[in-house]
A and B are shown apart, each in its own frame.
Chain A
Amino acid sequence: MNPSAPPSAAQLAALFPFLVAFDRALRIVEAGPAWNRVCPSVATGAAFDELFCQVRPRVPLDWNAMHERANSIFLVECLPMQMRMRGQILAGDGESMIFLGFPWVTEVAELDRYGLTMADFPPHVATPDLLFLLQAKNVALDDTRKLAEELGQEHIALQRSEERVRRIIDTCLDAVVSMDATGTITAWNSQAERLFGWTAEEAIGRPLDETVIPESQRDVHFQWLARFHATSEEVAFERRTEVIAMDRQGNEFPVELAISAVRDRGQTTFHAFVHDIRDRRAAQEELRESRERLRLAVDGANVVIWEWDIDTDKIVSDDRLAIVLGYELDEISPSGNRWRRLLHPDDRERSLSQIAAHLRGDTPMYECEFRMLTKSGVWRWLHSTGRVTARDKSGRALRVSGIMLDVTKRKRYEQALATQLLITRSLADSLSLDKTAAPVLLRSLCEILGWDVGVWWTKQPNGSKLICNCTWTNAEERFADFTEVTRTTLFETNTGQPGQTWTGGTVTWTPDLSLLTGFVRGECAARVGLNSGVALPLRTGDSVSGVLEFFSREKRSSDPETEELLLALASQISQFLERRRSEAALRASETRTQLILDSALDGVISIDTAGRVKGWNKRAARLFGYDAEEMLGVSLADTVFPPTHRSDYLRALGSYHAAGRDSLTNRHVEVRAVHRDGHEFPIELSMTALTDAGEVEFAAFVRDITERKQAELELATAKEAAEAASDAKTRFLATMSHEIRTPLNPILGMTTMLLDDRLTEEQRRYLQRIRQSGLLLLRLINEIIDFSKVEAGAIELEHHRFSPHQVLDHVLELFSLEAKDKRIKLKTRIASNVPRAVLGDSGRVQQVLSNLISNAIKFTEEGAVVVSVDADVLGDGAIRLVLRVHDTGIGIPEDKHESVFMPFTQADASTTRRFGGSGLGLTIARELARRMGGDVRIESDLPGSTFVFTVPVNLCGAAAEVPAAAGTPAISSPAPSARILIAEDNAANQEVVVAMLRRLGHSVNIANNGDEAVAAFGSTRYALVLMDCQMPGKDGFEATRAIRRIEQATQATRTPVVAMTAYAVAGDRERCLEAGMDDYMSKPLLYEELVAVVNRNLRKTRAPAQAVAAETQSLVTEERAPAIDDRVLATLRALESPSHALLEPLVSMFLDKTPNAVDEMSSMLVTGDEARVAHIAHDLKSESGNLGARALSSLSSSMQDAARAGRLDEAAGILPLLRAEADRACSELRERFPRLAPAQATTDHGETR
């Protein structure tokens, strides 16, 4: 290619793949090769001005305008692509112009949008470079943002940290002042403001020296600053120094100063922590002053102030120690060691260990008493207290300060007291001052008082001379000669030391025996080394009866304290001797008393308060086998009481001590005692506390009651036997009543029914006779049983809510037939204030009332029996019901009013024969009424009589909720016929009950035992169950419980269960109700009662049940809801797709499987395979649930639970229900899906007799 030649069209196209050439008509004559790919519209022949529009320069797209602007930068937009093109117009041959441009791209994304690649940009085009730059800019922007963010974070952190530091500094207790290297203040915290009086605003920027440093100190400051600049030496940095500072007013004050220097980027800043120590200084000053004051205060007193420096062992004390100890001040070197050496050897270890404990910090104070040696060789007692006053950082004690007090006098006094106490104790321990006790006492005195030899002189019986009673020495051999001489010497009055004391009655001191002339034993004393002596008088009344004499090897002289002590001792011993003498006299009289006691028939024992035996008579010796000699002083408890009784006895003694009361004294107590030979026997013990001059002693009289106890035991056994016999009688009566009543049941029942049939007059008369005799027999039995209960006090009263109205209705209903038969009118009147509901025993009220009405009817030939009820308000929520039964019968004479209530009595003995009866009815009625807090009495208004029955009852809140069991009208409105299940094992009874119920129009099924009853209940819906309580196998209670469980599992309505029992024992009713029964009839069943009970129980459930529980009943009754919930089926159908049938396969499977499942469950129940039953039930539960067979699902669930828990009886009860429900579900499904398999017959297992 010729470089100077213009490029060929092909070359131009290669250089400018986006060129567009157009003619004067603006028709495109050539388009660059890239157009075909990027925008094919741009092609030869197309109109340029239709495809492009001009963006810049803003000139119209016409030939001339463009021609004029050739060589300008053109920005045009390719309209179809909305793509901007950058380029220029190349004016060609005058017939055409060329636009040389490239897509103008400022974002990489645009390349993609226009379908451009790098290859579209020849190297001479800078567009990619621009993109690179743009991208680089973006990256840089990103980085910048990140950096800025980081900076921001750091800034915040810094601000926070600054804020924190500022706060710390502000809350700092010290003033903090910062200064730069030129000495200008740069920071000033709030404490600094307070301390120096300049605000931060004012202080910052000021020269430090002028602001806080007193003029006199400024040189030091400048020198320090200069030295820092010269050497950068860190002087006094971070070490506390005390300097003088100045506040704004020019006040100077001491401060403690710590300075730190911080170098940052070549700049040094000094931070000073300034602590005002004016207070501390003042405190130091005050301390000094107070020490001075203390010093003044203690001056003159014997208080020694000391301070011990532990490291140097130097003790600083004042001169009072020297004074106390008798030294010159310079004689005691101020060292701890010297002090320690002055300590008494006996006290040294104790006082040193106490101070060591305090130094370790074990005790808050050091406090000790010890003796120190005085210069004169005498020991003085000092009381020292101290405390560590300085410790180093590790807690080691550095200094102890304290005071010492001279307590010698106090110590001596204490010692004297202690001595007296010791002597008292020795005296107390010595029973008498006979030959054995006197030396003991003498020895105690010598030892306590520190004498070497002691002598006891007593007056001769004729009173003319003193004779040596006994001697004691602490060194027998050494002083043997002296004691020998003493023993053989007699003293007359006023001779020698003892004689002088005897005469003068005072203490006689001989400080130096050698100086004493005329001392007969002087020579001997000198030889054995005795130097001093003293004699004390022992007095009896006013005269001196003896002398105590002591000798010592030391030269001891009289001092008032010792003398006082000795006199006190002498007097003490004298008193003791006096008492001993009177005791001796007493003992003689005691001997006589003992003789009397010994002849006593009871054991007589006296004991002191510690329980030790003081007296023990012969009888006691015989009782327990111990002699008096053995027992005296011995603990009574440990000897004669068995271990099990000991603590009781000791407790009793203890409580006597504590409170002056106990469980033993002044009464007869029977306890067990132990004889010496080990056998235990009962005793009767009576104790008396004898107080004699404050001393308490107990006298106990003891009697062996073995025989009496034996007699008591025999009596108790006899009583038990009698009670057992009585119990047996009660049981016999209960059993007999049961046995007699059982045959009565069919007799009465059948007779009653026969009477309704067509009979001849004669037959009817016979039957009526049978029935009356039967009723009489029944009443007799009932009365005998009731009477025996009354007699035994075995009547238990109930307390429940009942309606007096209903009770009355119920009773009248029972007697309505009888009254009708006798053509007697039965009238009632109930006062309006009788409440509808009260709390009491409705059964007993009914019984009493029945008895009274029965009597009234019995003794009334014609006329009426009127029953009226009134209520008296008693207050406190209680009322008294007054029930009057008035008859127009024969009446009762007034003198018989009480006797009719006696057992086996009637007003006229002939009536017994005429009317029959046990004669117990009224007795029982009155007793029952009285047990209830009321009474039965007679108001006679001849002819006829009125029995008044009063009974208090409590009111209860609302009149509602009165149990129907208390009685409802029955015969007047018979219940509609119903299906009733009878569970009864006795065939005769079955027949009677069935006949009676059928007569009432009910249909009846019979179960022969509890198991059959449960099975029948499971398969058939009954309106009522009559349940015999005693049946072979599962009894009535168990069967009822099983029925209740089935009901619970199936969520069925509660079916009333009425107990039929021949028991007549209290508590039966409770037992029945507790087992889940609703009502109670006792056999033999009277037709009237049966009717009443059946009616009220049928009505009880039926009325509300029909209204409310229709749905629940629907599980098993005829008018029940569909077995299948169609909504569930609809949902399943909605889930189906044309290709996927869902419902029909499910139903088909269910129909195939369910009957088999039920059959299998049935046989598994027989074989007892609980797990398998539970498994099948589980499957059936979910399968039936899926298809909307809700009841079946629920029954399956109950079945599963029962099987899992192993309650097979319950499961067996559920099975028939489940089977019936399964059949129902299957048949309903078959109706809905007629195409599916034909019905599979299921067997009906719900069969009962």
Chain B
Amino acid sequence: MYGMVNKAVEELLRRNYGDEAWERIRRRAGVDIKVFVGMDAYPDKVTYDLVAAASSELGVAADSLLEAFGEHWTLYTARQGYGELLALGGSSFREFLLNLHDLHTRVALTFPRLEPPSFWCTDVTDCSLRLHYQSTRPALAPMVIGLLRGLGRMFDTEVAIAHTARREDGAEHDEFDVKFRAPA
């Protein structure tokens, strides 16, 4: 997993629960990495262990945490990591989602070890679309929901998300029905 994801986890936990809580969670997860390198690839286990440790340390469901990470990722971490590049993704929520695929493809091209997920859109209208999410990693769909929420806030757009197909339920990949209403 991308170091930036772990960074997002670290930042969110530090910000919301304090440095000491983060240290406890890190130790609980058995992670002895003190600084995550954003563009480096880490074993997925690191991220999963951190989420699990945080969940039990803080008594918060893992899905909720993941969702929060997703949102935090969009609003803070990615913005910090990609800087203005993120703006290249588009000037509206809809446009950004449509470019999401290219964005990840370029990341995959540039950083072959990262195995970023794939996103593509179908059934696109002015105010809705179906987002397909395919990843080699299990159980991260809640993070996608967080990502979408974060994007909605980024573009000042009301967003309604329905998780319509789940890989854990046997679907080939996860699908989300996304409805949105851009500001007037």
Q: Which of A's residues lie within 8 Å of B, judged by CB?
A: 108-109, 111-112, 117-118, 123, 128-129, 131-133, 135-136, 138-140, 142-144, 146-147, 150
Contacts and interface: CB of A to CB of B under 8 A. Distances in A.
Contact of B83 (A133, A138, A150): A138
A136 B88 contact: no
Contact of A111 (B37, B39, B88): B88
Contacts of B111: 136
Given A118-B99, A139-B39, A150-B34, A132 B84 contact: no
Given A117-B88, A118-B99, A139-B38, 14 more contacts: A108-B83, A108-B85, A108-B88, A118-B88, A118-B102, A131-B85, A132-B107, A135-B83, A136-B110, A138-B83, A143-B36, A146-B35, A147-B37, A150-B34
Contact of A139 (B34, B81, B107): B81
Contacts of A112: 84
Contacts of B38: 136, 139-140, 142-143
Contacts of B81: 135, 139
Contacts of A139: 4, 38-39, 81
Top 8 A-B residue pairs of the complex, sorted by shortest distance between their CB atoms: A108-B84, A139-B38, A136-B39, A143-B37, A118-B88, A132-B110, A140-B39, A139-B81
Main secondary structure of the interface of A (DSSP, over half): helix
B84 A129 contact: no
Nearest to A139: B38
A561 to B, nearest CB: 87
17 contacts: A108-B83, A108-B84, A118-B89, A118-B102, A129-B106, A129-B109, A129-B110, A131-B85, A135-B83, A138-B83, A139-B39, A140-B37, A140-B38, A140-B40, A143-B36, A143-B37, A147-B37
Contacts of B85: 108, 131-132, 135
Contacts of B83: 108, 135, 138
Contacts of B4: 139
A123 B103 CA distance: 11
Nearest to B91: A117
Given A108-B83, A128-B106, A150 B35 contact: yes
A111 to B, nearest CB: 7
Contacts of B106: 128-129, 132
Nearest to B90: A118
A146 B10 CA distance: 15
B88 A128 contact: yes
The winner among B37, B88, B90 for most chain A CB atoms within 10 A is B88
B36 to A, nearest CB: 8
Interface string B87-113: 011100000000100100011011100
A822 to B, nearest CB: 113
Contacts of A144: 37
Contacts of B84: 108-109, 111-112
Contacts of B40: 140
A149 to B, nearest CB: 10
Contacts, number: 57
A161 to B, nearest CB: 18
Contact of A147 (B35, B99, B102, B109): B35
A1165 B10 CA distance: 78
A118 to B, nearest CB: 5
Interface in B48-85: 81-85
Interface of B: 3-4, 34-40, 81-85, 88-90, 99, 102, 106-107, 109-111
B46 to A, nearest CB: 16
A142 to B, nearest CB: 8
A150 B34 CA distance: 10
Nearest to B35: A147
Contacts of A117: 88
Nearest to A142: B38
A128 B82 CA distance: 12
A143 B33 CA distance: 13
A150 B39 CA distance: 19
A142 B4 CA distance: 12
A912 to B, nearest CB: 116
A608 to B, nearest CB: 88
A102 to B, nearest CB: 15
Contacts of A132: 85, 106-107, 110
Contact of A135 (B35, B36, B82): B82
A128 to B, nearest CB: 6
A515 B118 CA distance: 138
A882 B110 CA distance: 124
A111 B40 CA distance: 27
Contacts of B90: 118
Contacts of B34: 150
A109 to B, nearest CB: 7
A158 to B, nearest CB: 15
A135 B4 CA distance: 13
B74 to A, nearest CB: 16
A709 to B, nearest CB: 95
Nearest to A123: B102
A118 B90 CA distance: 8
A67 B102 CA distance: 36
A133 B37 contact: no
A107 B84 CA distance: 10
Contacts of B35: 143, 146-147, 150
A133 B88 contact: no
A133 B36 CA distance: 18
Contacts of B99: 118
Contacts of A147: 35, 37
A666 B4 CA distance: 113
Contact of B110 (A108, A123, A133, A143): A133
A892 B40 CA distance: 136
Contacts of A140: 37-40
Nearest to B107: A132
Contacts of A129: 106, 109-110
Nearest to B36: A143
B47 to A, nearest CB: 17
Nearest to A143: B37
Contacts of B37: 140, 143-144, 147
Nearest to B37: A143
Nearest to A140: B39
The winner among B4, B37, B99, B111 for most chain A CB atoms within 10 A is B37
Contacts of B88: 108, 111, 117-118, 128, 131
The winner among A128, A139, A144 for most chain B CB atoms within 10 A is A139
Contacts of A109: 84
A109 B39 CA distance: 21
The winner among B4, B36, B85 for most chain A CB atoms within 10 A is B85
Nearest to B88: A118
Nearest to B82: A135
A44 B115 CA distance: 46
The winner among A136, A142, A146 for most chain B CB atoms within 10 A is A136
B4 to A, nearest CB: 8
Contacts of A133: 110
A121 to B, nearest CB: 9
B119 to A, nearest CB: 16
Contacts of B109: 129
A139 B3 CA distance: 11
Contacts of A108: 83-85, 88
Contacts of A138: 83
The winner among B39, B82, B107 for most chain A CB atoms within 10 A is B39
B122 to A, nearest CB: 20
Nearest to A118: B88
B114 to A, nearest CB: 10
Contacts of B110: 129, 132-133, 136
A118 B100 CA distance: 12
A823 to B, nearest CB: 116
Nearest to A138: B83
Contacts of B39: 136, 139-140, 143
A555 to B, nearest CB: 93
A1097 B26 CA distance: 97
Contacts of A146: 35
